[in-house]
Amino acid sequence: MKNDLHIERLRSLLNLLENNFTKPLSSSEVAAATFYSYRNINRIFRAVFHKSIGRYIKELLLQEAARQLAYSDKAITDIAFELNYSDLQAFNKAFRREFACSPSQFRQQDEKNMKAWINAKLPEEIKELDRLTYSIESLPPTRILYLTHYGNYNSQGINDCWEALLEYAHQQKLLKDETRYLGELMDDDEIVKDENCRYNAAITLPQEAVFEPTGFFNTKTIASGQYVCITHQGDRNKLDTVYEQIFLHWIVKNEFEIADKPFLEFYLNDEADTSTNDLLTEIYVPVASSKL
């Protein structure tokens, strides 16, 4: 269908932007990926996402800058240079416009907030940390079919995303007894704007399966890696509490180093036929294998 072709081209553009935003991207590269002129695809992009391609790239760059400020010791000048800003002044101006503070203030504020949060939480919750049990799991290369939701991780839109994915998978006869259901949390919602946070609703596919997705559906292989697996029983709307425990455990116990990769959530049973108290979710925290 003609509409499917437009969606395919828009999806190609999103993949191009998200995989190449740290290097200069020419209008000819965008045109080659979408088979539209830059002018026309930018019009379509703006209509769908309410921002220009250029603005979206700038947001991705600044979110990467914020991530590096929060999680690395890189000099601010090095971060600005690596992200292709013309000079430090231009970087500071753009960062301040996005986050309402300078890069140095952001880094200092993040450190202060973290210390305050730790000091507030540890006295009352440190005893709970010993109750957090986990296993170390080696995840093999895992091929998935997925649909991306852009927005807050607690949004109703994620449920809509799952409904669309499962309906599509059912139509394509992809749901098997061995199929696993998972969510891939691509972004840090403390840094990335809610509207840009990416959540992939996904099902596993056999590695050998021959399947070409259409529309906004996509396939990829999650690379093999080491994970800390924590099993949560109960309301999935309360997973934030579990994540808080995980990070507290990491800070206090110092037993593993969290890797800069997406967290995974494997859903072991279905909300449609399982009581809320009996829902089982496995949280996979990516870790550096050398630290285990």
Residue 3 pLDDT grade (very low, low, confident, very high; cuts 50, 70, 90): low
CB neighbour list of residue 174: distance below 8 Å, 6 or more residues apart: 145, 203, 205, 209, 211
Residue 25 neighbours by CB distance under 10 Å: 16
What are the strands of the beta sheet with 225-233, ordered from one edge? 135-139, 225-233, 280-286, 263-267, 181-185, 198-205, 142-150, 218-222
By mean pLDDT, which of 113-117, 157-161, 213-217, 278-282 is the weakest? 113-117
195, 241 contact by CB (below 8 A): no
pLDDT of the residue at 84: 86
Residue 44 pLDDT grade (very low, low, confident, very high; cuts 50, 70, 90): confident
The string of pLDDT tens digits covering residues 266-282 is 999 998 889 999 999 99
% pLDDT > 70, the chain: 86
The string of pLDDT tens digits covering residues 8-29 is 788 888 888 888 888 888 888 8
By mean pLDDT, which of 116-120, 136-140, 238-242, 266-270 is the weakest? 116-120
Q: pTM score, two decimals?
A: 0.69
pLDDT of 125 above 70:
no
